A and B are shown apart, each in its own frame.
Chain A
Amino acid sequence: MPRVPPPSRSGPRKSNASTPGPGDDGLTLADKLNYYDTPRPFKSHTFISKLPARTASAATTGVKKNVKQILVLERERVSGGDGFLSAAQTAAKARGEVVELGTKKKKPKTELSKRGLNLKGRGSRISSVVGSGAGTPMTEDLESGQTTPVMDETMEEKVEMALDNGPRKEIITYHTPTAPPSLLPAKKYCDITGLHASYTDPRTKLRYKGLEVWNVVRNLGPGVDQAYLALRGAQTSLK
């Protein structure tokens, strides 16, 4: 395409923050590296994300989700709530059926058995299962190949049976692997220097190494003490 040559500069600019001037061929570096206009034959042109349709709650209909929303969706799904619909539910919704959410309404058992769903410990039982996995490391059921749709009361009974009788499967959500707090007492380090701290300044609550560092603590500017405390998450937060 015809390109208007940009006005030439008299000399090279010295600042490295500036946009580099166009090269001999009239292209800037960004132009050369740009791949916005490169044809992509492998891409479908009719793609529309179906994800918004899969989130049931009205509050989260947008495609873009932040971390918190994503984690809430997952929690609701796991606890049988109306967060992120499963594939079966989505299909049902597409057929125009009313998707029953939560643990109240039953679905015809026949449908479930027809689809060959093998129920594993899930639903409202999950909270007790999650996190207790440490004792049973190898209980994963390999024959389970599917996710479960809605939970209902009959299922729950089955779940309990499954829990009692056979191997059960653990539900791992994003929060499951979060490391527990340390059992060792937290050591106290000087907030300023990082050395061992023997004292705490009663006014600023900063820990300090000794007299010499205390002089520094006492001469800190306004707000700096809080900045130091914020490093270890001990700042005063106004709510």
Chain B
Amino acid sequence: MDIDEPSNGAGPSKSRQGSRTIYIPETTNYQATVQQPFDYHSLDGTDPAICIDNGSHSWRAGFSSMSTPYIDRLNVVSRYKERKQNRNILLFGQDTDADASSRANIRSMFDGDLLIHGDILENALDYTFLTLGIDSTRIEQPIVMTERLANPLFTRAMTSEMLFELYNCPSVTFGIDSLFAFSQSAHPDGLAISLGHNATTIIPVCNGKGLLSRAKRIPWGGAQAAETLLRLAQLKYPGFPVKVTSSQATFMYHETCYFASNYEEELRLLESPENMAKMSTVVQFPYAQPDVVEKTDAEIAAALDRRREQGKRLQEMQAKQRAEKLAAKMVELEDYKQLLAERPTLKRADFVNRLQELTPFESEAEMESWIKKTESDIRRKQKKEAGEDIEPEEEPVFPLVDRPDEELTEEEVKEKRRQKLMKAGWETRVKAREEKKKEQAKKDEEKRQEESERATDLTGWANKLRAEQDAVINRIADRKKRRAQLGNRKSVASQSRMKSLANLAADDTNKKRKKNGDDDDGFGMDDSDWMVYREISGEDESEAEEEDQSQLQSIETRLLQFDPTFTEEDTMQGQAHAKNALVNAFVRGGSNGRYEPEDLKQSHQLHLNVERIRVPETWFQPSMFGVDCAGVGENSGWLLNGFEEEQRKRMMQGIFLTGGSSVISGLHTRLRNTLTPLLPFRAPLKILSSPDKDPRLDAWKGIALWSRTEQAKSARITRAEYEEFGGEWVKEHPWGNAPL
């Protein structure tokens, strides 16, 4: 039978209301142990059948004498060559989770609902017979195996060929999983509804026999549901930091989803953000919290000390370096000075030669100016080392500036020009400094004024600020709107931009005006006139935007600080939050308070609410996710209504639900609610499910029970029959497919 992942029985019971958190397990903590082979010889003398329930999710196998299948595993195989030691590795079921390379090589024998990979089937059968401890040279027991509803011939031929020719089985019987599950319920009439892993089937049962001609299949199963949940989550959280795997999606699906007893009604309730938040379930993914070690005061002090020590050492090192540099420079200076001192003893040409040889200077003047500069430099540095303050910059004197050119020599004229420049620079600096001071004073004055205003008339002040805030918010909104509009060529904003472009390009009007002698059209009188250039350039207005944002922030912080009636909700963010309450509840409904994108815990959360009922609802409205079929309820209703009244009455006492997704809560109520209006008024309806609450094993237990009956014995296909009619042929029996 197609069964989904076992529902985690250890998990907390599912609550519909009240947000709660489920945790995705940190790692796959699968404690793999080798499954010990069954003691095959303990069965000597008895004649059990080997029962195999081959579902697209799980593979269950065992002898019919057992109460539960000896092997119950995921139906996947991992086969690969280990490169390090060049060995072939073959793993089955959960064992495929052993390591990274085994996980990467997982394959299933099914494609969707159909068994197509014979080699993987062979691997699974090998594992089964090995684990059942079979050590004879051929399989001696009859085999009873499940297959799909209306299994294609090729698939069946492939399976039976393998069983007969490869394993030498004495006989084989095929049957349909959900019918075997139904057979357990001991009802002669009813509906076998299986919510499987890759398909959902509804098969009517009449007089103890499956009625395949009327059976219905909906191509929707647990695998599709989990995948849909995954896609919905991906679309809802496009920037989710970790990749959600499909097994995690299956886990989420089983832990959070439930069938709404009345979907329409429940959806309407969810339209209110409070209800949406209430039913949100938070799925917390594991995350690595960066190590924040709580430090004791002593530790902090020690660290501070250490840092100070380090800083000191660094300073010392720097000082040393500086001193070394200074010393080097002084030595250099001395050398040059000495050279200069030798000057009078040398001829000019010799001196220049030596100069160029020993120093990087070209001429004497160059060297002299360097010496001068370096000397003053050294003096300053020495003073600084000694801890003296550098005297504040005093007004420099420009003695030459005021003297007329006639009095000066040529050299001095040059110097005068230099001094003039320097003076201008000096004056500008002074002016700027004064301006700055003035501005500061003005600001202080404004602040003082505002403070006094606030002190005297708080409401008036707050109102003024609020008006300002509104204006800024409006500006930001307008800008956003315009930006959006400019994207569309036909929008008003785009068209007005084109109009101004055309106006500016056609300058005949200006010329005409000039002829009339009136060349001033008043452009620029209003500051906003210049906006036209900004408008036509179409460039982004990030500068203005930034300015507005900072202004808004300052307004809001001031209001928050002083106006007791101004709360977080009144800030722009708060307003937006309130406006988007529904969407916020949809995306972040499970957490209390504001979403902090920086918070790792919150950023690793998925909040599921509508999805919890939306995904299972697909069984009742497959068209929701693009499956053009009637739902389980509608199909069941049609099937039941297609029978005579007496027969229908009997069948309505045995609506049997099985398959992995039938453990999703609320299914019984939902099916009843859907069926009741379709069926005759007040007709009694009985919906059953697995007697021991484990639909995963329904089919296998059904096989085990049935295989002991005489009916089963007569339904076996013997080797002779296989050879005569081919592998695709089946003998007719109540729980199997019809022969073609």
Q: Give chain A's interface residues, CB within 8 Å of chain B.
A: 3-4, 6, 16-20, 28-38, 40-44, 47, 49-51, 54, 63-67, 70-71, 73-74, 77-78, 84, 86-87, 90, 133-134, 136-138, 140, 142, 144-147, 169-184, 186-187, 189, 192-196, 209-210, 212-213, 215-216, 218, 221, 224, 227-228, 231-234
By Cβ-Cβ distance, the 9 closest A-B pairs, closest first, are A233-B626, A87-B726, A133-B213, A36-B90, A194-B610, A182-B630, A19-B99, A16-B27, A179-B629
Contacts of A63 in B (CB 8 A): 118
Cβ-closest chain B residue relative to A233: B626
Find out whether the CB atom of B153 lies under 8 angstroms from the CB atom of A84. Answer: yes
Cβ-closest chain A residue relative to B212: A172
Smallest CB separation, A185 vs chain B (Å)? 10
Also in contact, A172 and B150, with CB within 8 A (given A34-B90, A36-B90, A193-B610): yes
Find out whether the CB atom of A30 lies under 8 angstroms from the CB atom of B98. Answer: yes
Find out whether the CB atom of A212 lies under 8 angstroms from the CB atom of B149. Answer: no
A231 to B622, CA, bound (A): 12
Find out whether the CB atom of A35 lies under 8 angstroms from the CB atom of B114. Answer: no
Contacts of A54 in B (CB 8 A): 157, 726
> Is B598 part of the binding interface, using a Cβ–Cβ cutoff of 8 Å?
no
A18 to B580, CA, bound (A): 43
Find out whether the CB atom of B629 lies under 8 angstroms from the CB atom of A181. Answer: yes
A133 to B211, CA, bound (A): 10
- A selection of 15 A-B contacts at a CB cut-off of 8 Å is A3-B85, A19-B99, A29-B32, A36-B90, A42-B138, A44-B165, A137-B206, A140-B738, A146-B739, A172-B150, A174-B152, A182-B634, A183-B634, A184-B634, A232-B624
> Is B376 part of the binding interface, using a Cβ–Cβ cutoff of 8 Å?
no
Find out whether the CB atom of A35 lies under 8 angstroms from the CB atom of B90. Answer: yes
Cβ-closest chain B residue relative to A19: B99
Contacts of A182 in B (CB 8 A): 621-623, 629-631, 634
Cβ-closest chain A residue relative to B134: A42
Of the listed stretches B265-273, B559-567, B687-695, chain A binds: B265-273
Find out whether the CB atom of A186 lies under 8 angstroms from the CB atom of B725. Answer: no
Find out whether the CB atom of B90 lies under 8 angstroms from the CB atom of A51. Answer: no
Smallest CB separation, A53 vs chain B (Å)? 11
Contacts of B713 in A (CB 8 A): none
Find out whether the CB atom of A180 lies under 8 angstroms from the CB atom of B629. Answer: yes
The count of residues in chain B whose C-beta lies closer than 8 Å to any C-beta of chain A is 112
Smallest CB separation, A116 vs chain B (Å)? 11
Contacts of A145 in B (CB 8 A): 731, 739
Find out whether the CB atom of B271 lies under 8 angstroms from the CB atom of A195. Answer: yes
Of the listed stretches B122-130, B292-300, B313-321, B411-419, chain A binds: B122-130
Contacts of B581 in A (CB 8 A): 212
Smallest CB separation, B492 vs chain A (Å)? 17
Smallest CB separation, A141 vs chain B (Å)? 9
A33 to B99, CA, bound (A): 11
Also in contact, A194 and B116, with CB within 8 A (given A146-B725, A177-B216, A231-B232): no
Find out whether the CB atom of B213 lies under 8 angstroms from the CB atom of A66. Answer: no
Contacts of A212 in B (CB 8 A): 579-583
Contacts of A215 in B (CB 8 A): 580, 583
Cβ-closest chain A residue relative to B580: A212
Also in contact, A33 and B611, with CB within 8 A (given A172-B213, A189-B624, A212-B583): no
Find out whether the CB atom of A19 lies under 8 angstroms from the CB atom of B154. Answer: no
Cβ-closest chain A residue relative to B488: A203
Find out whether the CB atom of B116 lies under 8 angstroms from the CB atom of A42. Answer: no
> Is B512 part of the binding interface, using a Cβ–Cβ cutoff of 8 Å?
no
Contacts of B218 in A (CB 8 A): 179
The listed residue (B92, B118, B148, B621) touching A187 by CB distance below 8 A is B621
The listed residue (B91, B202, B264, B728) touching A30 by CB distance below 8 A is B91
Find out whether the CB atom of B610 lies under 8 angstroms from the CB atom of A77. Answer: no
Find out whether the CB atom of A74 lies under 8 angstroms from the CB atom of B91. Answer: no
Find out whether the CB atom of A87 lies under 8 angstroms from the CB atom of B235. Answer: no
A171 to B152, CA, bound (A): 12
What would 11 more interface pairs be, CB under 8 Å, given A20-B99, A77-B740, A231-B235?
A19-B99, A30-B102, A35-B90, A42-B139, A54-B157, A63-B118, A66-B116, A183-B634, A189-B267, A193-B586, A227-B231
Contacts of B484 in A (CB 8 A): 218
- In chain B, positions 98-129 with a C-beta closer than 8 Å to chain A are 98-102, 111-112, 114, 116-118, 126-127, 129
A224 to B168, CA, bound (A): 55
